[in-house]
C-alpha cells in the first residue's frame, strides 16, 4: 500500500487510490463477481469466506491454482471483498435486491477502486449517444494520464479491458464496433451512487450531481425520482421539501463509520 493510499481518509470506507489498476490485466470481472456472490450467499460472511471460496473451493471454476490466486487478487483490488468496508457491504446489499442493477453497481465500485479506469470516465461520458468509439480512442484515454508509461502492447491490452468494462456496464454496445449508448439506472444503482457520494462528503442536492451520479447518465430530477423509490423500499431515508434535500443511510452506515465521517467533515 502506498503512502497516499495509507493516509487517505476514504480508504477506511473501501475507496482505493493506489497507482495503477486491475484493468492492466482484467476487465471489471462482472461474471466472476456474480458467480462469487451467488456462491457465498450468507449474511454473516467475512472476507476470508470470499477468499476461500475462490482459492480453496474454486467457485469460479479456474483450471489452475495460479489462475485462482490471480482471480482473487484482481477481485480484491476491484471490490475489496471485505464486508467490514461499507463500499463492499452496501454493494452486496443492493446486489441481492436488484438483479438489473448489477452491472452498474459493479462499475460504480470499480470506478471508486481503480484509478486507471476512473481516469477514462470524463472523456467517455462526454461522447454523445450514438457516436462510434474506435479502439484507438481508449488508448488515447489511457496514455494521456501517463504519457509513455505503457508499452504499445500493454496500452492496447489495457484499452481493450477498459472498453470491455464500459461495454459490460452498458455505456457501449457492439463487439468490434463500439457505439456510445445511454444506460438505464434503477433505484438500487442510484441509491449506491448516492451512498458513495455521501461517503465522499457530498450532502443535500449536490449528492445528485456527483461524478458517481454522472456515471449513471442520470439527470438530477430522474435521480431524485429513483431515490424516492429506494426510500419507499427502505434502502435509504430521503427528506425532500422544496429545494432542501437530505439523504441518510441508517441501515448501511454503522455508527463507527458515521463518527469517521464527522471527523472527516
Supply the DSSP string of the chain, one letter for each residue: --HHHHH-GGGGGT----SS-GGGT----HHHHHHHHHHS--TT--HHHHHHHHHTS-TT--SSHHHHHHHHHHHHHHH---TTSHHHHHHHHHHHH-GGGHHHHHHHHHHHH-HHHHHTHHHHHTSPTT-EE-HHHHHHHHHHHSTT-S-HHHHHHHHHHHHHHHHHHTSEE-SSSEEE------HHHHHHHHHHHHHTT--GGGGGGSHHHHTTT--HHHHHHHHHHHHHTTSSEEEEETTEEEEE-TTTS-HHHHHHHHHH-
Claim to verify: residue 41 and residue 65 sit in the same structural domain: yes
Please report the pLDDT score of residue 148 as a whole number: 82
User: Per-residue pLDDT tens for 47-67?
Assistant: 999 999 999 999 999 999 999
Last residue of a domain, one of 63, 84, 105: 84
- 38 falls within a domain: yes
| Alpha-carbon distances of 51 from 81, 87, 92, 215, 219, rounded to whole Å | 8, 17, 15, 29, 38
How many structural domains comprise the chain?
3
Distance (Å, whole) CA 105 – CA 195: 12
Please report the pLDDT score of residue 2 as a whole number: 44
Q: What is the mean pLDDT of the chain?
A: 93
Is the pLDDT at 6 greater than 70? The verdict is no
Claim to verify: residue 227 and residue 248 sit in the same structural domain: yes
User: Per-residue pLDDT tens for 171-197?
Assistant: 999 988 899 999 999 999 999 999 999
pTM for the whole structure = 0.94
- 103 falls within a domain: no
Q: What is the residue range of 159's domain?
A: 120-180
- 107 falls within a domain: no
Rounded to an integer, the average pLDDT of 104-109 is 98
Amino acid at each position: 500500500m502506498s503512502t497516499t493510499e495509507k493516509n487517505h481518509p476514504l480508504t477506511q470506507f473501501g475507496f482505493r487510490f493506489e497507482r495503477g489498476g486491475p484493468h492492466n490485466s482484467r476487465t471489471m470481472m462482472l461474471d466472476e463477481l456474480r458467480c462469487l456472490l451467488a456462491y457465498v450467499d450468507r449474511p454473516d460472511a467475512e472476507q476470508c469466506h470470499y477468499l476461500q471460496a475462490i482459492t480453496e473451493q474454486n467457485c469460479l471454476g479456474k483450471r489452475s491454482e495460479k489462475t485462482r490466486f490471480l482471480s482473487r487478487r484482481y477481485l480484491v483490488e476491484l471490490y475489496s471483498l471485505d464486508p467490514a468496508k461499507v463500499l463492499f457491504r452496501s454493494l452486496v446489499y443492493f446486489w441481492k435486491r436488484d438483479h438489473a442493477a448489477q452491472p452498474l453497481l459493479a462499475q460504480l465500485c470499480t470506478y471508486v477502486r481503480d484509478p486507471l479506469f476512473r481516469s477514462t470516465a470524463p472523456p467517455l461520458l462526454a461522447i454523445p449517444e450514438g457516436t462510434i468509439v474506435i479502439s484507438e480512442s481508449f488508448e488515447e484515454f489511457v496514455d494521456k494520464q501517463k504519457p509513455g508509461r505503457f508499452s504499445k502492447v500493454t496500452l492496447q491490452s489495457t484499452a481493450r479491458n477498459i472498453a470491455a468494462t464500459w461495454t459490460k456496464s452498458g455505456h457501449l454496445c457492439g463487439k468490434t464496433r463500439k457505439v456510445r449508448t445511454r444506460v438505464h439506472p434503477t433505484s438500487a444503482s442510484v441509491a449506491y451512487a448516492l451512498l458513495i457520494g455521501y461517503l465522499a462528503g457530498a450532502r443535500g442536492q449536490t449528492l445528485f450531481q456527483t461524478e458517481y451520479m454522472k456515471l449513471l447518465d442520470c439527470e438530477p430530477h430522474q435521480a431524485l425520482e429513483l431515490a424516492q423509490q429506494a426510500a419507499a423500499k427502505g434502502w435509504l431515508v430521503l427528506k425532500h421539501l422544496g429545494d432542501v434535500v437530505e439523504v441518510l443511510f441508517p441501515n448501511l452506515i454503522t455508527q463507527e463509520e458515521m463518527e469517521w465521517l464527522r471527523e472527516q467533515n
